[in-house]
Amino acid sequence: MRRRCINLAVVLLAILLITNCRSSGKVQNDSSDLVLLNQVGYQTNAQKLALVADGINEVVIIDTEGTEVFRTVPAAASYWDKSGDAVTVIDFSAVNVPGKYTLILPGHNQTYEINISDRPFTELSKAALKSFYYNRTAIAIEPEFGGIWARPAGHPDTAVLVHASAATEARPEGTVISSPLGWYDAGDYNKYVVNSGITTYTMLQAFTDYQDYFRSLNINIPESGGPIPDVLAETLFNLRWVLTMQDPNDGGVYHKLTNKQFDAFVMPHEAIAERYVVQKGTAAALNFAALAGKGYRTLHTWNNELPGLADSCLRMAEFAWKWAVKNPEVEYKQPEDIATGGYGDKNFNDEWFWAASELYLATGKKEYLDVILEKYSKPLVPTWNQTYALGFISLLDNYELLPETIKNTNLREDFLTLVDELTEISKTSPYAVSIENFAWGSNSDVANHGMLKLFAFKITGNDDYLVSALSDMDYILGRNATGYCFVTGFGHKKVMNIHHRPSGADGIEDPVPGFLSGGPNLSVLTDCGPDVERSPYPAKSFVDLECSYSTNEIAINWNAPLVYLVAGLDALLTR
Contact 333, 295 (CB under 8 A): no
What is the pLDDT, as a whole number, of residue 25? 34
Assigned domain for 548 exists: no
Contact 80, 430 (CB under 8 A): yes
The separation between CA 215 and the C-alpha centre of its own chain, rounded to angstroms, equals 20
Domain's final residue, options 91, 117, 143: 117
What is the pLDDT, as a whole number, of residue 546? 98
Whether 288 and 238 map to the same domain: the answer is: yes
Residue 40, classified by CB atoms within 10 Å of its CB into exposed (0-12), middle (13-18) or buried (19+), is: buried
Assigned domain for 523 exists: no
Which secondary structure element, helix H or strand E, spans residue 247, and what is its range? none
Mean residue pLDDT of the chain comes to 94
Which secondary structure element, helix H or strand E, spans residue 124, and what is its range? helix 122-134
- Can you tell me whether residue 53 is helix, strand or coil? strand
Whether 98 and 73 map to the same domain: the answer is: yes
Q: Using one digit for the tens of pLDDT, what is the confidence trace for 245-260?
A: 999 999 999 999 999 9
Check whether 573 has a pLDDT greater than 60.
yes
Whether 397 and 432 map to the same domain: the answer is: yes
**CA nearest 554: which of 491, 504, 493, 482?**
504
Q: Using one digit for the tens of pLDDT, what is the confidence trace for 136-182?
A: 999 999 999 999 999 999 999 999 999 999 999 999 999 999 999 99
Q: Using one digit for the tens of pLDDT, what is the confidence trace for 273-313?
A: 999 999 999 999 999 999 999 999 999 999 999 999 999 99
DSSP-derived letter for residue 151 is B
Assigned domain for 494 exists: no
**CA nearest 180: which of 242, 135, 251?**
242
> Domain containing 77 — which CATH number?
2.60.40.10
Assigned domain for 79 exists: yes
Domain's final residue, options 117, 133, 168: 117
| 461 Ramachandran zone, left/alpha/beta (phi>0; psi -120 to 50) | left
| 84 Ramachandran zone, left/alpha/beta (phi>0; psi -120 to 50) | left
What would you report as the CA-atom Rg of the chain, rounded to the nearest whole angstrom? 24
Domain's final residue, options 62, 94, 117: 117
Contact 431, 538 (CB under 8 A): no
Contact 443, 517 (CB under 8 A): yes
The residues carrying an active-site annotation are 188, 499, 544, 553
* Separation of alpha carbons 188 and 195, rounded Å: 13
Cα→Cα distances 287→174, 246, 292, 372, 383, Å: 25, 11, 8, 15, 12
Q: Using one digit for the tens of pLDDT, what is the confidence trace for 307-338?
A: 999 999 999 999 999 999 999 999 999 999 99
Across the range 209-233, mean pLDDT stands at 98
Whether 426 and 558 map to the same domain: the answer is: yes
* Separation of alpha carbons 12 and 126, rounded Å: 38
Which secondary structure element, helix H or strand E, spans residue 160, and what is its range? strand 160-162
- Residue 32 — very low, low, confident or very high, per pLDDT cuts 50/70/90? low
Check whether 21 has a pLDDT greater than 50.
no
Assigned domain for 27 exists: yes
Higher pLDDT: 28 or 258? It is 258
Residue 284, classified by CB atoms within 10 Å of its CB into exposed (0-12), middle (13-18) or buried (19+), is: buried
Contact 488, 513 (CB under 8 A): yes
Q: Using one digit for the tens of pLDDT, what is the confidence trace for 119-149?
A: 999 999 999 999 999 999 999 999 999 999 9
Whether 305 and 417 map to the same domain: the answer is: yes
Whether 174 and 309 map to the same domain: the answer is: yes
* Separation of alpha carbons 520 and 541, rounded Å: 5
Whether 135 and 240 map to the same domain: the answer is: yes
Whether 211 and 314 map to the same domain: the answer is: yes
- Residue 3 — very low, low, confident or very high, per pLDDT cuts 50/70/90? very low
Check whether 30 has a pLDDT greater than 50.
no
* Separation of alpha carbons 153 and 141, rounded Å: 7
Q: Using one digit for the tens of pLDDT, what is the confidence trace for 40-72?
A: 999 999 999 999 999 999 999 999 999 999 999
Check whether 575 has a pLDDT greater than 80.
no
Of 26-30, 299-303, 403-407, where does mean pLDDT reach its minimum? 26-30
Assigned domain for 504 exists: no
Across the range 461-479, mean pLDDT stands at 98
Q: How many CA atoms lie within 13 A of 77 on its CB side?
A: 18
**CA nearest 466: which of 452, 479, 448, 454?**
454
Whether 422 and 459 map to the same domain: the answer is: yes
Assigned domain for 499 exists: no
Whether 186 and 283 map to the same domain: the answer is: yes
Q: Percent of the chain, pLDDT > 70?
A: 94
The domain tally of the chain equals 2
E strand map for 1-48: 35-36, 42-43
Q: Using one digit for the tens of pLDDT, what is the confidence trace for 87-100?
A: 999 999 999 999 99
Residue 180, classified by CB atoms within 10 Å of its CB into exposed (0-12), middle (13-18) or buried (19+), is: middle
What is the pLDDT, as a whole number, of residue 528? 97
The separation between CA 8 and the C-alpha centre of its own chain, rounded to angstroms, equals 45
The separation between CA 556 and the C-alpha centre of its own chain, rounded to angstroms, equals 7
274 Cβ neighbours under 8 A, 6+ residues apart = 161, 259, 260
What is the pLDDT, as a whole number, of residue 293? 98
Whether 110 and 221 map to the same domain: the answer is: no
* Separation of alpha carbons 403 and 263, rounded Å: 50
Cα→Cα distances 51→86, 356, 427, Å: 10, 44, 14
> Domain containing 437 — which CATH number?
1.50.10.10
Q: Using one digit for the tens of pLDDT, what is the confidence trace for 538-557?
A: 999 999 999 999 999 999 99
- Biggest alpha carbon–alpha carbon distance for the chain: 84
Which three-class secondary structure string do you get for 253-272? EEEEEECCCCCCCCCHHHCC
pTM of the model: 0.94
- Can you tell me whether residue 493 is helix, strand or coil? coil
Buried b (16+ CB within 10 A) or exposed e, 431-452: bbbbbeebbbbbbbbbbbbbbb
* Separation of alpha carbons 104 and 111, rounded Å: 5
Assigned domain for 74 exists: yes
Q: Which domain holds residue 56?
A: 8-117
Whether 319 and 212 map to the same domain: the answer is: yes
* Separation of alpha carbons 562 and 271, rounded Å: 29
Across the range 438-462, mean pLDDT stands at 98
